[in-house]
Structure 1
Amino acid sequence: MIPTTQTLVHQLIEQTVHIGDTVVDATTANGINTRFLATRVGTTGRVLSYTTTKDNANAAATSLFMSGLSERVTLLGKSINSSYATELGIQNQARIAIFDYSSDAQNNNDLSEDYIDQVNHVLPRLTHGGLLIIKFNKIPVGWHTYTHSLMRDDFKQATYITETVQAHIIERI
């Protein structure tokens, strides 16, 4: 049986995230990834969750409250920008960051023009062995150029493609 991209991503999260880790959902949308990450970091971990719409923030906050996960998540009503290092904590790094611009998160129409700038804020703040996962229904202009520009000595890359969604995984080594 071939797994969906969402199943594969959740398996990667299960294998990578440890109790007490800091993780990032850079595109909260329907909150599915935020909730899943919150179940994996335990009571001592933390999820930074970025959402640019009030409706998504309210829906995510309600879902987290109902599932008892609110205390593990910091919901930020904005996109990632130059203040990311401060929000993460100057001395902190993230184990995983996910940007989900796919139909899995009901976010396939919300790709921001500065998504590569956002990735550039997050990528250097990953732990060694940490993963950046980005999902698209359709690859945006500039993505392949960006991934080819990454130093092979610093990052490993893989892509998982199904009929509708592509997951790109970048590991900081």
Structure 2
Amino acid sequence: MAATAQGRNVIGGLSGRPEVGQLEHLREEARQERHRPEAERDAMRQERDQERQARTKAETTAATQVTAAETRLQVTRKNLQQARHQLVAAQAATGLALPELIDLSRDLGDGVRGVALPGAGIEVVARHPDGTVVLYHQNTRMGLGDPEHAPAHGRALAAAILAVSPARP
């Protein structure tokens, strides 16, 4: 019985009833506990809304960038087409015939860059990562010297081909 009386004494004073200040404090704690889930939900909603806004902004920015890139691509294609028409007109006016445009930076794999020449006898002219220039004919590799001298040999070969080629086809 003494323990019970002591317990009441701690909680509510000697009379066994809670004091008014303690009661108000307990009510406030209960009210805060009831509102805590609401506050957490509100914070989560606000965070979700911010994430949606950020995602929408990112999607809008990406769409704008894609549209701008597509527009630049269209302009570049149109300019290239105009340049090709001008080239054809210049060739017709001068009687000069140039070969078709060739991709000079084609990736041939393993760091090898080069030019594919379909139907030219030499299928590929390539520069390897070590600097060697190599001609490929029917899967046969023909190197133009060591890496140090290959660029000079390549220029000499190009000059020789130009020298023996007729001025007009």
TM-score (norm 2): 0.22
The structure in which a higher percent of residues are strand is 1
Q: Which has the higher contact order (CA 8 A, sep 6+)?
A: 1
